[in-house]
Amino acid sequence: MVQYAQQQHEGGSSGGGSSSGSSSGSGSGPTAAALVAALAAAGGSVLSYVPDSSLLVAALPEAAEAVQRDTGAAMVALGPEHRLAPECAPLMAMTAAAASAAAGDSGRTDPTLQQRRRRLQSAAVTGHTHERQQGQPTHLLLQPEPEPEQCTTEPLQQVRLQPVRGGDTGGGSDSGGGNAGRRLVAAAGADGGYGLDDGSAGSNLAMARGALLRRMRVLPLSDEREVPVTLAGAAEHAARRRRMAAEEAGATAAVPPPQYELLVQLLPVAAVTADAVAAAESDWPAALAAALESATGAPVGTCVPLVSALRGRDGQAVVVTPQSEGNAGGAVSGARLRVFVCEQHLAAALAWLSGQPVVRWVSPRVALAHRNARASILTQSGSLTTAAYSDPVGDGSSSAEAARRPYWAAGLNGTGEILGSGDTGLDLDNCYLSDPRYDSGTVAGQLTPVTTLWPSSQGNGAVWGRPGDRAWRPPDHRKLVQYYLPVDCVYGDDPGQGTAGHGTHTGGTMVGALLALQAAPGYNGTVLTGAEGAAAAYGPLVLAAGSGAAPRAKLSFVDISLKAAAAGGLQGALEPPEPVDDVYLRLHWDAGARIISDSWGAVDNVYDEFSQAYDAFLWRYPDSIAFIAAGNNGSDALTPGGSVGSPATAKNPVAVGASWRLPAELGIGPRLLQVRGRNPAANPNASVSTELFRLAVYPLENPDLPKLLKIIPADAEVPLVVADPPDACTKLVNPAAETRGAVVLAVRGQCWFYQKVLNVLAAGGGAVIFVNNVPPMMDGPPYPVYPNSNYYAANLATSVISQGLGQWLLGNASAGVKMTLANVVEAAGPDTVAYFSSYGPLADGRIKPDVVAPGAYITSAGARGGIIGGVCSPAQANLSGTSMATPHAAGHTALMRQYLRTGFYPTGSPGDAAAAPFTPSGMLLKAVVIAGAKSLMGGLAMALGIPMGPPPDAYQGWGRLSLAGSLPLPGLTPAGFALQVADRGQFTASGQQAVLTGLTATGKGPISIVLTWYDYPADVNAASQLVNDLDLTVDLGGGRDGSPPQSLMGNNPEGALLPSPDRTNNVERVYLTYPPPGATLTITVRAHALPSRLLSGPDALLPQRWAVAAVGYFTGTLATELNPAYVRQGQIGTRGTTGGGGGAAGGDVVQQAAPLPPSPAPPFPTTAASAIASSTIPLAVAVQENAVPAGAPFAAAATTPQ
């Protein structure tokens, strides 16, 4: 890792200026240009950028020494600790704890409390989990939510919980027999002792490890025919292990233990050739096995490792190769290996793999899981009245339609738009998705082998192929342009196979439409042909509760629901074709889809290879926009780094949270638990105390035991007290009057759950809530059962809350705050964010989710089972989750794209002479979405039950998606409401800027100006993910009312006294609540720093693209050739003299930086055999900020004082 002079980085040129090696300050190290030039001369390559001014480079040891000598740089080798993902900590910690116990060392710090990226500028990245039954999706709420009730307004009744009957305690025996009062464990989650031990010194690690193992991908080996076809060598490996197991057991039925998958990314350098990767596949298993035996002191036996590369069409690993002389051919990521080892070998395998010089990154491979009529009214019109909520369809008249869905009424229904999605499959028998010209029952037989080849993004001429995949690409289906089925996935969307009908529901939410023909009495499902069929397929639609957001749009669909056998027996697991950027997302691009909607992901709140892949794809294909479900872990309150899961942690996609869609005037909402804190009156004679706070809580409750909302009477509250001692491992010493009938808070740790529960019960407690003792939430609820039995110690309500929330409550209690737990109904309206909606900000401070959309109680197409053809099914399903909000947002963005593409821009009237139809970039669509998002200020963030402030914030992001807030439409939006854009601007060097003028505020309402750019994908080991940094500044001239000029910076509060530039997000907004009338607006976009221009490879050669959207109350036209409306004015001769000027295609550039340095030369080529040897592999190097640590191995880096 090499640090260069940040002064040059920020000043004018990231790639130009002096190349002599001088710097702007004495002893400050080489400039970026000097460093890159020295590396190029030495045959090194620049792999990635790590903020704030460091580069990860690869060079042979002698080359690194030369760079150090010539530039004065100090370097340190990229060590094993920098190659391990923080998610590996529980896997590494178990062995460390065991070794510590064997050596008698009981003072070791629990590594799970210190999960951090092993980066040079380290920042905490804590994972989290959420209750999940095996086979259930991550981003979907399968359990039906209770119906909303009228909100609580009367004073609460003060009550105490009734004591648990003696017969329910189960006595005290550990034998598991005994009286009939005992309650048997019934929940599926209590497998393998999970949730039993409360986390003594070793069990904390065991719990964290167990939670991770349950999420990791497993190689199924009960039958070699079940292994994934795409996993090279897996079938032979499985057969070998089964033979070995049979020989050891003396029986043919023996099944070897499961093996867990680790993803190994190799250095993206030319020296790591395809032959070298093949050598790793053949040689590493034996070397790794020897290391495992050495570490454990036992033979590996049937646990011999498997190493398999991700391969291209020709069967070879796709690696980085030089494209031409002097070009290293670098890439975002290098070749990838999938390594499978048994559980007991994970720690040793991680240690060995991270020590290999060709390895860039090692991470556990976690399984992915899946995460609308009233909703469309709210999103299109901007509001939802009680009348429209009660009658979302109306009488079918044009006036009713215009009032409810004005953009549909204007002809914006998705015609000509294609959306892409990967999900659990589609029920093609559903009327919302079927076509009367096709017999859906025959589609399975029409899936044909895929021969498509996708070029590798690594710039080496290689291509990806998918042998075994099949696809159906009908020439003119009304809903589908393709149905793509990967080889290891199951066709259709059968809820009986664990899909929950998820794909059918999300697909219907986007494009679902019911034909009048299908809804007509007597329809018999006869396949229609010719003109009759075409007339029927594109004939009248019937508006129904399940109609999608873009009813005339089409869908590119990839069925990613793994066969249970290929997922280790897990139903509902998902796996998109890989690499995600080169294959999965390209599948949609090649089918014409420019809007992607994905409602799946992992629970880990980190920037991983999936996040990086989405960023990489959008960097290369800026015409696309991707929407990703933020996740349903909102109830894991106050988790460090937020609860948004990968790949929604990526920078460039739009992460979508979920809001409600109830009219506020109904005064109804969910029944929930609420902690109320009161300050005891300072005056003992005072009759009342002062209420300090109200906070909603959603404990993770044991499903077998009483529930808090059942035992606390409605509209009543009970005392909430802290156990003394806090861990409740010994008899409680709280006053009996305090704990009697109260809910008791106890800290997890030091003893068994059943012991804590019995101590609370003995003190008269009516329920217990455990405070988790590590940042990641427990993977399931506590199970207070006796050891070696299946019986509960007591029939006592038992649950757990997150560490962050629990510590906050404990802190208030220690400050003397008296707390109660209430059973209340909280009113929810359209400005309410659902309690399950995952929140931010992310660990690096980025704003996520980006927006919210309706995601509670969404009605859409429902799957009924196998696809048989014949008469279609009008089945509907009502589901909740960010999975539902995401396709809703994507579908309505299709209407935005159609608006811009068909000439509604800029006035909302395609017949206007000034109409300027154009194809928008995905960046611009993102900017328009965010600029017009409705503030939910004053609405509730239901996860905590607290009111939100102005956006952006951790729950609403930039607000709720609103077409009415983004797109002018006569008859709907107020007069004077306008939209202006600048699209596809580009910079090629730091210091360049574009000045956009021509707009004048009217003073009649707010103005929102948003800059978006698709950033270069971040290094997976970076503390912050922003690479290229642009700045938005809006200069507001003096108004006619005498108001003075002012200058505003992006993402600063309006009126900030000391504004500072945002160095974290790749979205910047300036919001003016009431700009003075007559004030001119000057919008400046500036390239503060473009570190991607320093890197090697084809991706780094691309310019930094950007887009600007301005919505609100102003007059004029953005005077730039980047604005189609301005171009149109020039064509029809109406362009005014508003100033600004057009400029080049990159915007009105008023300052140019010096040219970039040449690309680095490739490292010296090596043979396949020598590429595995450490002495000839280019050395990846890293530097500590401003210093090289004592005792660090020699490498090469430059440091600069900040």
CA distance 178 to 180: 7
Q: 818 to each of 470, 677, 1013, how far by Cα in Å?
A: 63, 6, 49
Within 10 Å of residue 289's Cβ, how many Cβ atoms? 20
Tokens 């070793």, located at residue = 202
34 burial (CB, 10 Å; 0-12 / 13-18 / 19+) is buried
Strands 654-659 and 1029-1036: unpaired
Catalytic residue among 82, 237, 345, 502: 502
User: What six digits make up the tokens of 378?
Assistant: 């709210």
Q: Do 287 and 307 touch, CB atoms closer than 8 A? A: no
Question: Active-site residue 559, yes or no?
Answer: no
Under DSSP, the state recorded for 583 is: I
Instruction: Please report how the helices 882-901 and 502-511 are oriented relative to each other, as an axis angle in degrees rounded to 10.
Output: 30
Is 1047 catalytic? The answer is no
| Residues 1105, 1118: Cα–Cα separation, whole Å | 18
The question of whether 423 is a catalytic residue gets the answer yes
Please return the burial class of 1024, using the count of CB atoms within 10 Å of its CB with bins 0-12, 13-18 and 19+. buried
For residue 1198 the two structure tokens come to: 């430059």
- List of residues 6+ apart from 737 with CB closer than 8 A: none
Rg (CA), the chain: 30
Q: What is the DSSP string of 1118-1158?
A: --STT-HHHHHHHHHT-----S----BTTB-B---PPPPPP
The half-sphere exposure of 258 on its side-chain side, counting CA atoms within 13 A, is 15
Residue that the structure tokens 């890197």 belong to: 1095
Catalytic residue among 168, 423, 435, 983: 423
- ∠ Cα 716 719 722 (to 5°): 150
Neighbour count for residue 1049 (Cβ, 10 Å): 16
Pick from 354, 364, 264: nearest CA to 309? 264
Catalytic residue among 457, 597, 883, 990: 883
Question: Cα–chain-centroid distance for residue 400?
Answer: 38
Residue 768 parent element (H or E): strand 767-771
How many beta carbons lie within 10 A of that of residue 819, not counting itself? Answer: 22
Torsion angle of C-alpha atoms 322, 323, 326, 327, degrees rounded to 10: -80
Strand partners, 243: none
Phi, psi of 305 (to 5 degrees): -70, 160
The full 3-state SS of 1026-1076, as one line of letters, equals: CCCEEEEEEEECCCCCCCCCEEEECCCCCCCCCCCCCCCCCEEEEEECCCC
Contacts of residue 99, Cβ cutoff 8 Å, sequence gap at least 6: none
Distance from CA of residue 352 to its chain's centroid?
30
Q: Tell me the residue length of the chain.
A: 1202
Angle at 894 between CA 892 and CA 897, to 5 degrees: 120
Taking phi first (over 0 means left), then psi (-120 to 50 degrees means alpha), and beta for anything else, what does residue 588 get? alpha
CA–CA separation, 471 and 451 (whole Å): 10
Q: What three-state secondary structure class fits 671?
A: strand
Tell me how far apart the alpha carbons of residues 843 and 1024 are, in angstroms, rounded to a whole number. Answer: 8
Residues assigned a catalytic role: 423, 502, 883
